[in-house]
Amino acid sequence: MRDIDHFIGGQTVVGTSGRYGDVFDPNTGQVQARVQLASAAEVDAAIANAAAAQPGWAAINPQRRARVMFEFKRLVERDMERLAELLSSEHGKVIADSKGDIQRGLEVIEFACGIPHLLKGEYTMGAGPGIDVYSMRVPLGVGAGITPFNFPGMIPMWMFGVAIACGNTFVLKPSERDSSLPVELGKLMMEAGAPPGVLNVVHGDKEAVDAILASPIVRAVSFVGSSDIAHHVYATGTSTGKRVQAMGGAKNHAIVLPDADMEQVVADLSGAAFGSAGERCMALPVVVPVGERTAATLREMMVPAMAALRVGVSSDKDAHYGPVINGAHRSRVEDYIQMGIDEGAELVVDGRGFQLQGHEQGFFIGPSLFDQVKPTMRSYQDEIFGPVLQIVRAETLAEAAALPSQHQYGNGVAIFTRNGGAARDFAATVEVGMVGINVPIPVPLAYHSFGGWKRSGFGDHNQHGPEGVRFWTKVKTVTQRWPTGGHELPRGSEDGGPSRVVDSSFVIPTMK
């Protein structure tokens, strides 16, 4: 059985804590590797390597740092097939989803390649008599990222891509459930030309997280995970003087108006609710049809669409989605399905007990559909994070729009309609951070920023885009005045030659 080692200071490092976590093959249910869980001392060693590398990395001009990012992007694209297969083997998502995971991360790397422009400050000449004022964005120092299992490629690149381009060095603590890909990304960053220590990957559990939060050297922490842990990371990190962005859970809604293109809605829901087995913070697990006729039509069309979904192993090119991450998570999702039944919702399609021939021990769940779900139900209030779609009926648009606005999570929402005025008003007033109009998964492109409201996001800055640059840098403003007495600048003389310098100690160098 293979071990997944740490990557510290530009090289693979065998852990010394003696603690390990199991990494499963979700397709078979078998343990395929064990990941080393770092002690606080090992985390501190990774942080020390990052701290040692940071001054030199920050001193490299932004254009050269951008060239490293360009080369990193090329290397990841070169190895896309291998990396996607590795990701799928530990996560369970189908290869196409794994490639999409990596590609969306690379889009942030592409954005980070423009760092020379993004770091430009402001300048005011003549702010006062002989006084100029200018600002600059400077790196914070050592940054850290704590990332979830559901996007082991994209979310780490969202974090370290911008952080490293800005001149920081980075310690990544990925999920211990699927840790191999982040290590490969660390190796490729070194191959791209980043000095040792610029990107470090250390595996672990709560002990590693607590060590990152306690370290006085780490100046900023980016986190994605459940809301309870996000709140803990934010509260703990900020209490020790760190800058923290912590993204939490979600319960995204799809509002469907009577004039919507229902065939498109059903197709979009089939992918957005069940793709990647629902293990996405931007999934659409709740659909709110407005009016009884809309609800009846939607339900009637969703049932055969769900029956047509192919659940298969991650290497099956025809599969729409694969298994969930492990047996514990499968049990959690199935418990929520039973909860919905107990609460009085109507289970229209039951995905429990799904088995794939030849892979009976794999962590598979079929798609499930609930109707008559009420906002008071806990199964509606909580994030299920599995292939479960809930129908919550509403009589009016106002009633439907109130649901995402009043929910504890405010990550994403979508509205399906042909009515531009209704969509515009909805987008302007709904209390949610990211809105899709006839777009089921409104994840912003890399040059915009990703982030939710309420218990979906803690902190003042969103992920990647201009907000990412602001998060990973601090502003320094310089007010300058130079002595002007005792010399004259050369000016053109009557014969076209330079004028005489009054003060011989003032010499303007000749450009050669």
pLDDT digits (tens, 9 = 90+) for 352-366: 999 999 999 999 999
Q: Please identify every residue annotated as catalytic.
A: 281
Whose CA is closest to 78, among 199, 193, 200, 188? 188
* Residue linked to tokens 């931007």: 282
What value does the mean pLDDT take over residues 403-413? 97
CATH T-level assignment (fold) for domain 253-446? Aldehyde Dehydrogenase; Chain A, domain 2 (3.40.309)
pLDDT for 500 equals 39
Give which of 445, 455, 442, 448 is closest to 410, Cα–Cα: 455
The amino acid occupying position 407 is H
The stretch 371-388 carries a mean pLDDT of 98
pLDDT of residue 487: 64
Q: Two tokens at 235?
A: 């509260």
**Residues 6 or more apart whose Cβ sits within 8 Å of residue 25:** 31, 32, 89, 90
Q: What is the pLDDT of residues 154-166, one digit of tens each?
A: 999 999 999 999 9
Residue with tokens 């100046």: 219
- Where is 458: in which H helix or E strand? strand 457-458
**Residue 146 burial by Cβ neighbours in a 10 Å radius (0-12, 13-18, 19+):** buried
288-312 pLDDT per residue, tens: 999 999 999 999 999 999 999 999 9
Largest CA distance in the chain: 98
Query: Rounded mean pLDDT of the chain?
Result: 94
Q: What pTM, to 2 d.p., does this model score?
A: 0.92
Residue 488 pLDDT class (50, 70, 90 cuts): low
Domain ranges of the chain: 2-248+459-475, 253-446
Q: Please tell me the predicted confidence (pLDDT) of residue 295.
A: 98
pLDDT of 493: 47
Render pLDDT for 45-64 as a digit per residue (tens, 0 to 9): 999 999 999 999 999 999 99
Q: pLDDT tens across 69-104, in order?
A: 999 999 999 999 999 999 999 999 999 999 999 999
Please spell the DSSP secondary structure of 351-364, one letter per residue: -TT--BTTBTTS--
Residue 120 — pLDDT band, cuts 50, 70, 90?
very high
> Angle between the 62-78 and 154-165 helix axes, to the nearest 10 degrees?
160
Beta bridge partners of 370: 347, 390
Residue 504 has pLDDT above 60, yes or no: no
pLDDT at 484: 77
| Segment 134-156 mean pLDDT | 97
Q: How far is residue 298 CA from its own chain's centroid?
A: 31
The dihedrals phi and psi of 383, each to the nearest 5 degrees, come to: -85, 120
326 alpha carbon, distance to own chain's centre = 21
pLDDT by residue (tens digit) across 231-284?
999 999 999 999 999 999 999 999 999 999 999 999 999 999 999 999 999 999
Query: How is domain 2-248+459-475 classified at the CATH fold level?
Result: Aldehyde Dehydrogenase; Chain A, domain 1 (3.40.605)
CB-based contacts of 488, cutoff 8 Å, min separation 6: 499, 501, 502, 503
Instruction: Give the Cα separation of 359 and 357 in Å (integer).
Output: 5
Instruction: Quote the pLDDT of residue 510.
Output: 42
* Strand 253-256 versus strand 412-416 pairing type: parallel
